[in-house]
Structure 1
Amino acid sequence: MIETQATVTALEGDYALVEASQGGCGRCHEPGGCGGNNASQLFCHGPRHFRVLNPLGVKVGEKVVVGVPDGAVSHSVLVLYLLPLALLVLGAVAGAALMPGARDAAAAAGALFGGLLAWFLARRLQARDVQSPRFQPVIRQRL
């Protein structure tokens, strides 16, 4: 489980809105850390806000540890990056193979079709995954 510290800023039923001052697991500068927070600083500055399950019933202002289940991040990477890339390339190859006379145009059309198919599939898979407890971030403990 990937964990990070956060502060509860608001409550919404069974969920809490939390503000994480750091991204990732906090091991960016340690040996074996992936450095993901360093890369995220290029695109997103300041605190990050998340909606997480609140099984402990924490209150606004409390410091907590938020955990993301194992496999949730890698699953999202597969769905949002690798699936579109694979379908884009497969679409281009299939288009070029089906119409050898107009290879470039067919490859572009096939790539476009593969990209659109990937977009629809990724939206559908992510919408399903949002509802799954396997992928929900959750408050693990109070600090």
Structure 2
Amino acid sequence: MLEQTVEVIKTAPDGIWVRAVEPSGCGTCGGQGCSSRRIAELFQRKPRLFLVDCDLSLAPGDRAVVGIADGSVLKSALRAYGVPLGLMLAGALLAQVVQPGDGPALIGMLLGGMVGWLVARGGRTVRPVVLRRENQPPFHLMKG
């Protein structure tokens, strides 16, 4: 199972919205901010939020560990990329059988791609689930 530490952003009736918590560094430089981390920060996009299933009572600001089943990433990738690509090729080949030429092949490829896109969008995707709360430190420092 693939696991990731997340921070709860908000709750919803069908789950919770979370944002992935990135580690401070790879550990080689002791978190001091090596050049490769600084370069990566230049190209960093705005953090994305994800809806995950949750059976625990969590509030915004809590940290938890979410997991997704092994193989589900591969299945999703095949559905998102493999099905449209396969149907594009099948559409182009079928069009070549019916009417040889580049024009019919292009039309068949486009039609197959549209059908593949519709098929890939359909169906239910497997959402990650909250596995456990992140281990809290035994003491809590307070300002003041």
Q: TM-score, normalised by structure 1?
A: 0.73
Question: Does the 8 Å contact 2:51/2:127 carry over to 1?
Answer: no
Q: Is 1:140 paired with 2:100?
A: no
Letter in 2 for 1:73: V
Instruction: Give the distance between the partners of 2:68 and 2:122, measured in 1 at CA.
Output: 21
Aligned CA-pair RMSD: 2.6
- Displacement of 1:65 in angstroms is 0.4
How does 1:49-64 map onto structure 2 within 5 Å? 49-64=49-64
Q: Is 1:119 paired with 2:103?
A: no
Higher alpha-carbon Rg: 2
Letter in 1 for 2:107: A
Q: Is 1:77 paired with 2:77?
A: yes
- Displacement of 1:7 in angstroms is 0.6
Letter in 2 for 1:66: V
- Displacement of 1:107 in angstroms is 0.5
* Matched residue count: 120
Question: Does the 8 Å contact 1:7/1:18 carry over to 2?
Answer: yes
Instruction: Give the distance between the partners of 1:83 and 1:9, measured in 2 at CA.
Output: 34
Relative to its length, the structure with more helix (as a share) is: 1
Instruction: Give the distance between the partners of 1:44 and 1:69, measured in 2 at CA.
Output: 27
Aligned sequence identity (%): 35
Structure 1 residue runs of 4 or more that deviate by more than 2 Å after TM superposition: 41-44
SS of 1:86's equivalent in the other structure is helix
Instruction: Give the distance between the partners of 1:111 and 1:50, measured in 2 at CA.
Output: 33
Q: Which runs of 5+ in 2 are unaligned?
A: 27-40, 135-144
Q: Deviations over 1:71-121 (max 9, x none)?
A: 221111011101111111111111112112xx1111011101111110111
